[in-house]
Structure 1
């Protein structure tokens, strides 16, 4: 996991540096590529941050050891809901949001409301019901 953390950190910093260089290159007048490069850099750094948190929680895995075996990967990797409809609803709501940009603002607002509903439901899925912790 440590190799992946370093890889994603290097890639994130690379995209942020390239976004800054590109911004100077176009004199900060192009507003599609600059935010896109920064967004990619931030998203890659988010993956590196998640991997760092996971590494701190679970420690070294078999891939971090020179003599690691595939059979050492057996076991539990975390807590996952056995079934969940919240991600499907959130994905549908996001599709409605993007369709609302083309159709009309009223569709956009309906999609945002639905997305907030499904996002809150997904976040608090483990707070009540059969899988409450």
Structure 2
């Protein structure tokens, strides 16, 4: 995680320099604002990764002498049967179509997004998958 944190922090520094250069040369507010926002997002991700790297064990990616096989193993739990991403995808697609065809479509997409989000968050708190 240390490597990824450093990468994002250096990316943030590069984006900041480019935002300043772009803002001075172009005097265009939309692109300059987007670059400064990209700087903010990169610095947040880099800080989070660098801060988290101090609290976790050293991973194989932080060891220069590590092999690919050193990073093998279980990476986490991924739900194999969840239908919630499908409902979130349909609701998100409808929401973006609402921007194109009319804001009234958001009244139909917002409940689909909320049901999908609620179902995904509480998927393992009810039914046969409830944690005991």
Shift of 1:123: 2.4
CA deviation string 1:72-106 (max 9, x = no partner): 11222222222222122212211111110111111
Work out which of the residue numbers 84, 87, 94 in structure 1 matches 2:85: 87
Aligned equivalent of 2:131: 132
Q: 1:60 to 1:8 in 2, by over 3 A?
A: same
| Corresponding position: 1:2 with 2:2 | yes
Q: In structure 2, how many angstroms separate the alpha carbons of the residues matched to 1:21 and 1:91?
A: 38
Number of aligned residue pairs: give it.
Answer: 131
Q: Which has the larger radius of gyration?
A: 2
Partner in structure 1 of residue 11 of structure 2: 11
SS of the equivalent of 2:75 reads coil
Could you state the TM-score of these two structures normalised by the residue count of structure 2?
0.74
* TM-fit CA distance, 1:107: 0.5
Residue in 2 aligned with 1:96?
A: 94
Task: Name the residue aligned to 1:41.
Answer: 39
CA distance in 2, matches of 1:45, 1:58: 20
- State the distance in 1 between where 2:83 and 2:109 align: 17
CA displacement, residues 22-67 of structure 1 (integer Å, 9 cap, x when unaligned)? 345444x533x23432443344345435544663564211121122
Q: Secondary structure at the match of 2:106?
A: helix
Structure 2 stretches of 5 or more lacking a match? none
Q: Give the 5 Å matches for 1:100-111.
A: 100-111=98-109
Q: Unaligned regions of 5+ residues in structure 1, if any?
A: none
TM-score by structure 1 length? Answer: 0.74
Shift, 1:132, TM fit: 3.5
SS of equivalent to 2:29: coil
